[in-house]
Structure 1
Amino acid sequence: MSSSVRSTKSSRNTAIFTYDSTQSQTTDHRTRHETNDEDMDRLVSDCVKYMLIMDNKKTAIKRSDIVKAIVRKGQTEPKGQAFKGLIDKVRLRLDQVFGIQLVDCPDKTNEYILVNKMNNKEIECRSDVQMYRTSVLSLVLSVIFMNGQSCAEHIMWNFLAKLGFDVNSKSQLLSINDEPSNNVTIKKMMTEQWVRQLYLKYDRMDGSDPITHEFRWGVRAEHEFKEIDILQFVCNIYNDSSKPEDWRSQYDKCQQHNDLDNEIHIITD
């Protein structure tokens, strides 16, 4: 029995699916001891649907949760090379059909995130809340980038305060649908929500006494934001005639990463 899927409206060009896991896991009367081509096609389809749904939360998608959602009773769980083959097919379909990149989380084994390759072109379709959150996130990422890829939290709080942001003040402009309260603070968003969503890393600084933390870019930020765009964002903040090239150290870093990305694309093409 195939999964039950309903299409609902989304800000993306594609639809968001409502996944009926109970039907997906309905017992198949035939006991399966291996994954044949028909099973694999069904697993790929269900895995793609499940990942698109879970991506709404912007948190890492775990292998264990994928298996629970798509493997039916009586069917052998794909392991080792079989699971790798499944993920490779899912990765290809997400890219070709939806324009979405499946990214392995470098800090955690068997966890994945989805990155919309059309992200920058869709910014005009976002709501006021989404636009505000993206602007604040861009600002935070720029502070980290301009400070050499990491930024101590006290430097971050002081910088935001100088720009008029009260990081402890609640704002409806930061709220999203799945939050328990209507209002959240910038500090909570930065140290909890964006950390869960892998936009930011918030780690204790080695040897700090009293204990303090630092911010760094998370894996999702590394794939959704280009450093050169962040550098241009900094130039826009200053609202003068400065160009990215004027920030020599940061500009050179952008060029190095861009050259590396080009080499990777050549190898994988």
Structure 2
Amino acid sequence: MSELSKPKEDLQDPGEAQGLEEEQLLGAEGGEAAPPSASSPPVSSSATEEALPQEALNKMVANMVKFLLRKYQTKEPTSDAELLNAVLRDNQEHYPVVFRQAVECVLLVFGVDVKEVDPRKHIYIMVPTLGLTCDAMQRGGQGLPKAGLLVVVLSVILQNRDRGPEEEIWGALNKMGVYVGREHSIFGEPRELLTQVWVRDGYLEYRQVPDSAPARYEFLWGPRAFAETSKGKFTEAFLLRVKQRALRAFRLLSAEAEGEEEEGA
């Protein structure tokens, strides 16, 4: 069983992106720039992206995501040469599009930023996005990173004027395939994660809306979120990409993980 198989015009309404599901994952339309934290790999690109079946492309992206996550967990760098030889092998002509989409998936779903530290040799390191260290606090940093989901929740709170009604939070996560009471292949049971783990760790506050009858609840940024990152970083560096692409990234990797679970059953 693979590692992934373990158990308004804003982010408030990511349903507006549902019509984009049939497009290339993460907006890989011809000519789109690579993420700002990772340079385009030095492999000549061709018009293979359109000819490559979507299922095959998704599989290659998922395999590269798993490889990058292993490097993140072991705190090891990687390179274009290693990714080409270890992940794609006989499909190296597809490296530019697979690399670009894998970097976006790792960032949006898992909250891991791929940064190039040696432009000449194209060597990369993986670091927590926006300074959030929540993954290091969970089981000694083991298991799949969950900071990407935390970024989405914190973003929804910002989009609701710093107070995220519970129904808005779950509405956004439902459209990404994350449901209360349903074990997620990447994030586990989300209610426990949001209302207990991240509240205990200080990333979120979860409280009853004052004077609400019947009782309603809302999420706010917790003190640790303010200590490790800032609203400005979200607005400037992340919110646009979350709004446009997170829905597709979450659904792709969830589908890949569920498919592998079925194959291993």
Q: TM-score with structure 2 length normalisation?
A: 0.38
Q: Which has the higher contact order (CA 8 A, sep 6+)?
A: 2
Please report the TM-score for the alignment, with normalisation by the length of structure 1: 0.37
Q: Computing the radius of gyration over CA atoms, which structure comes out larger, 1 or 2?
A: 1
Q: If each structure's helix is expressed as a fraction of its own residues, which one has the higher value? A: 2
